[in-house]
Amino acid sequence: MDAIDVIRAKRDGGELSPEQIDWAVDAYTRGVIAEEQMSALAMAILLNGMNRAEVARWTEAMIRSGERMDWSALDRSTTDKHSTGGVGDKITLPLAPVVAACGAAVPQLSGRGLGHTGGTLDKLESIPGWRASLSPEEMLGVLRDAGAVICAAGSGLAPADRKLYALRDVTGTVESIPLIASSIMSKKIAEGTGALVLDVKVGSGAFMKTVENARELAETMVGIGTDHGLRTVALLTAMDRPLGRAVGNAVEVAESVEVLAGGGPDDVVELTVRLAREMLAAAGLDGGKDPADALRDGSAMDVWRRMISAQGGDPDAELPVAAETHEITAPATGVLTRLDAYGVGVAAWRLGAGRARKEDPVSFGAGIICHAKPGDKVTAGQPLLTLHADDASRFERALESLEGAYDIDEAGTLDQLPLIIDRIA
């Protein structure tokens, strides 16, 4: 085949044939299609879209570019969760142990943060000794021992996606819903899980800013999963304000441990329990132990400790603490009616909790503690946010991103999304 013919077909609004898709993905992975040619094809896909059959085939071609994991040696059903990312989204940390404590195995492949959105692996690496990189054999061992594993995807998993993702990042084609959906689902299907629950974030701190766009992405991904025989459900959840009170790495681990100990912020607990119930139902295990009970009776905490230890971490170790803090106080008395997730996320990034490039290091102790959430009454002068950084010079730029990021109003009228907006199945 010829790359120009494939580009023209999509440029002119046509449907790519299965043969064209298979060839294009394979040829690009092998270096036969040049970067500028795949850039043109990606832009044509962004502008003209793909139908369900095209997206399913594109995803399958990316899966076939690498290895596929197999958990058939386990004596229990597997189920997994994927979040599209946000600010303070530490849900994976308590969720995987909760679901494992209720009888499922959770082979969770996670990523690192970039920009204002945090990464699960960055959070966990703040635990002394914890390892993100595991071989498939090591993953299987942790699953047998603890019931859950959270680690980085190996280089052999959907290599076509890794190459295309980097290209999209520098060619203005990141926003293409078919390419987003196939990128996420190719890795999750190759991961070999038996069921999948998607947490599609909506709001200023999320990739999808509107409910309509988030619903389109969720429906596309659920369709891909269904077409590949993977039981898939999606929840649309709010990301117009930070999730929980902690935003960063070590501070989010500490908050996750609070949840596992039966406490923690109400929104984190509610979303953890709801996603856990969806994961168990998708795995056919909804008639057993309830996730809320696993948090109350300590069994989820037991799984957490085994999982962290099995990956080289010390669950009792002191977490990193930033050298410097800066407190923002409430400028007036009233009700906190808005706390913008994007503003808080950018501030945490500038404090050192995130990275601008994949190669950049992160500060494990950097981040933000939100002392008030939208709907809380505040008094002038009381702490509103505490900023943590290793270098005090970072505070100035972090404060700039928080200008206009919160409102305090006497009337207390809230204008925010419900925590759980919709369910797509």
What per-residue confidence (pLDDT) applies to 118? 87
Q: Which long-range contacts (CB under 8 A, 24 or more apart) does 62-65 make?
A: 62/25, 62/158, 62/160, 62/161, 62/164, 62/182, 62/183, 62/186, 63/158, 63/186, 63/189, 63/190, 64/22, 64/26, 65/25, 65/26, 65/29, 65/158, 65/159, 65/160, 65/161
Which residue is catalytic, options 80, 122, 161, 340? Answer: 161
Q: Average pLDDT, stretch 119-148?
A: 96
Which residue is catalytic, options 77, 83, 182, 183? Answer: 183
Residue 177 and residue 217 in contact, taking contact as beta carbons nearer than 8 Å: yes
Please tell me the distance from the alpha carbon of residue 289 to that of residue 62, in angstroms, as a whole number: 37
Query: What secondary structure letter does DSSP report for 368?
Result: E
Please tell me the distance from the alpha carbon of residue 100 to that of residue 96, in angstroms, as a whole number: 6
374, 379, 370: which is closest to 414 by C-alpha?
Answer: 374
Which residue is catalytic, options 57, 123, 163, 187? Answer: 187
Which residue is catalytic, options 10, 57, 81, 82? Answer: 82
CATH class label, 324-409: alpha beta
Neighbours of 88 (CB within 10 A): 29
235, 287, 397, 303: which is closest to 98 by C-alpha?
Answer: 303
Q: What is the dihedral of CA 244, 298, 249, 99, to 10 degrees?
A: -80
Q: Tokens in use for 396?
A: 């100035």
CATH annotation of 3-49: 1.20.970.10
Does this chain's domain 80-310 share its CATH topology with 324-409?
no
Per residue in 367-383, pLDDT tens? 999 999 999 999 999 99
Q: Residue 360: pLDDT above 90? A: no
Domain range list for the chain: 3-49, 80-310, 324-409
| pTM score | 0.95
Please tell me the distance from the alpha carbon of residue 117 to that of residue 353, in angstroms, as a whole number: 10
Per residue in 334-350, pLDDT tens? 999 999 999 999 999 99
Query: What secondary structure letter does DSSP report for 209?
Result: -
Residue spans of alpha helices (H) in 17-153: 18-30, 35-48, 52-64, 92-101, 120-124, 136-146
Which residue is catalytic, options 57, 81, 112, 168? Answer: 168
Please tell me the distance from the alpha carbon of residue 95 to that of residue 104, in angstroms, as a whole number: 12
DSSP string, 168-187: HHTTT-TT-HHHHHHHHHHH
Q: Average pLDDT, stretch 281-296?
A: 95
What per-residue confidence (pLDDT) applies to 150? 98
Q: Residue 358: pLDDT above 90? A: no
Per residue in 26-58, pLDDT tens? 999 999 999 999 999 999 999 999 999 999 999
- The amino acid at residue 183 is S
Known catalytic residue: 187? yes
Neighbours of 300 (CB within 10 A): 29
Known catalytic residue: 204? no
Known catalytic residue: 183? yes
Please tell me the distance from the alpha carbon of residue 323 to that of residue 389, in angstroms, as a whole number: 6
What per-residue confidence (pLDDT) applies to 405? 97
Known catalytic residue: 296? no
Known catalytic residue: 209? no
Q: What fold is seen in the domain 80-310? A: Pyrimidine Nucleoside Phosphorylase; Chain A, domain 2 (3.40.1030)
